[in-house]
Structure 1
Amino acid sequence: MMTRSQAPQKPAVPQAIGFLLLENFTLFSLASAIEPLRMANQLAGRELYRWFTLSLDGEPISASDGLKVTPDAAITVPLALDMVVVCGGVGPARAVQREHVIWLQGQARLSRRLGGICTGSWALAKAGLLDGYETSVHWECLAAMQES
């Protein structure tokens, strides 16, 4: 007779994470977020996490170092995401568009976990999703974000 703890366990469904790339995002920050997920998958010997890079239109987008990255999808493509991470970089006030704000608000209504790296918290604040929460932002953006 098998007890509950001895019964074969179904593998958990991988957590799906969407990385929303803003124009002039920092490539180093994106890599620093994705590499631990890749290593966790490797060490576990199975897929714990899967990730997708996203942009407004799915077209190549420039990182702050000038490299162009071709995202996996546009934000209009419906993906079953568990979490969205906004990847900011240089000039977040110029990079965050109305469409970003509307999409992020929609993700919040879908109860997606939300986060930001580098200056990604700027977009979350612009969407009104940080009201009542403490956050961090790159020191070069602090005064502008507080004023905005």
Structure 2
Amino acid sequence: MTAPAHFAFLLLHDFSHLAFSCALEPLRIANLVSGRPLYRWSLIGADGRTATCSNGSVTLVHAGLEPTRQVDRLFLISGLNVQAHTSPAILAFLRRERAAGTPLGAICSGAWVLAKAGFLDGMEAAIHWDYHDMFAEAFPGVKLVRNVFVAQKTITASGGTAAADLMLHLIGEAHGTDLSTGVADQMVYNAVREGTAAQRVSLQSRHGMRNQHLMRAIGMMEESIEEPLSPGHIAERLGISTRQLERLFGRCLNSTPRHYFMELRLHRARNLLVQTEQSITEIAMACGFRSTSHFARTFRAFYGKTPLTHRTTLN
């Protein structure tokens, strides 16, 4: 009988409990459904004793940062405050494992750690959408995608239920779609996604929108935050009048193009304030503001506090 595939999970402090469960449970259920021990797993923590997730639950682990002795896959699972928890010891452990030939993967914010170690340069990678702005600024050499997961040599998944999608994909690759479907049925998971599926619910689904002009306009805004396009320029690209564009935003979003675009820019600025160590000036420029004073006034008017106060309060 073929030996069970051994998956190891390195749990960083503040890891996502949801992502961890969605990664581990499909392996357990695969054993149950198949009636055979197809998978076994071990848990790794920085101190070799426990790992604490972001909801405060404490998980016992099997090992610390010693060599894994040729596991079939090693997945790093992280969550909040990933930068603070990416210690030199964690990076050294991952580099040793990679040098030893261990296939690596990361879930939720874990792609940030692999990128910090230099493992993702020139490669596609997925990370939880809330970390996209931080990641794109820190690692411009990585091809960041908004997929739920990327199944390549170094696997990355965006977190949450995307971890289940990834594991079902790996189970299907190794043991066939009948088993992966059986596992999904046991999980009462009838919306299994391919890796290329988008992470976030589409604007069309969220707002019930079907107007293609509006969808394209929002796409243009999201792609030009650093160099904001004017409503007139967006309308010209769409082949409609500025007045038509304003009516679309008013009818479908109860907003104006200019106000909606400003919200997008300020939301990105808030992410960068909390998730990066960039200066206020750098963040202002990255979000299309030509002066720090204009950025600070606009941010305060929208959020009720200055950028610096917001950063100090949440960090």
1:61 and 1:84 map into 2 onto residues whose CA distance is 16
The answer as to whether partners of 1:88 and 1:117 remain within 8 angstroms in 2 is yes
Report the residue type matching 1:104 in the other structure: L
**1:55 aligns to 2:55 (yes or no):** no
**1:105 aligns to 2:106 (yes or no):** no
The answer as to whether partners of 2:68 and 2:97 remain within 8 angstroms in 1 is no
- Bigger Rg over Cα: 2
SS in 2 for 1:69: strand
Superposition pairs of residues 62-77 of structure 1, within 5 angstroms: 62-76=52-66
Report the residue type matching 2:78 in the other structure: G
**1:119 aligns to 2:148 (yes or no):** no
1:51 and 1:90 map into 2 onto residues whose CA distance is 24
Report the residue type matching 2:120 in the other structure: L
How big is the shift at 1:136? 1.0
Report the residue type matching 1:95 in the other structure: H
**1:129 aligns to 2:119 (yes or no):** yes
Report the residue type matching 1:103 in the other structure: F
2:134 and 2:18 map into 1 onto residues whose CA distance is 23
Q: Which residue of structure 1 lines up, in the alignment, with residue 33 of structure 2?
A: 43
Where structure 2 has 5 or more consecutive residues not aligned to the other structure, the ranges are 139-315
How big is the shift at 1:79? 3.3
**1:94 aligns to 2:84 (yes or no):** yes
The number of residues matched between the two structures is 138
Identity %: 33
How big is the shift at 1:146? 2.1
SS in 2 for 1:73: coil
- TM-score normalized with structure 2 length: 0.42
How big is the shift at 1:77? 5.3
| Structure with more of its chain in strand, by fraction | 1
Q: Which residue of structure 2 lines up, in the alignment, with residue 83 of structure 1?
A: 73
Q: Which residue of structure 2 lines up, in the alignment, with residue 21 of structure 1?
A: 11
The answer as to whether partners of 1:56 and 1:76 remain within 8 angstroms in 2 is no
C-alpha RMSD of the superposition: 1.2
The answer as to whether partners of 1:41 and 1:47 remain within 8 angstroms in 2 is yes
Of structures 1 and 2, the one with the larger relative CO (CA 8 A, separation 6+) is 1
Report the residue type matching 1:129 in the other structure: F
Where structure 1 has 5 or more consecutive residues not aligned to the other structure, the ranges are 1-10
Report the residue type matching 1:120 in the other structure: G
The answer as to whether partners of 2:10 and 2:74 remain within 8 angstroms in 1 is yes
How big is the shift at 1:122? 1.1
**1:12 aligns to 2:6 (yes or no):** no
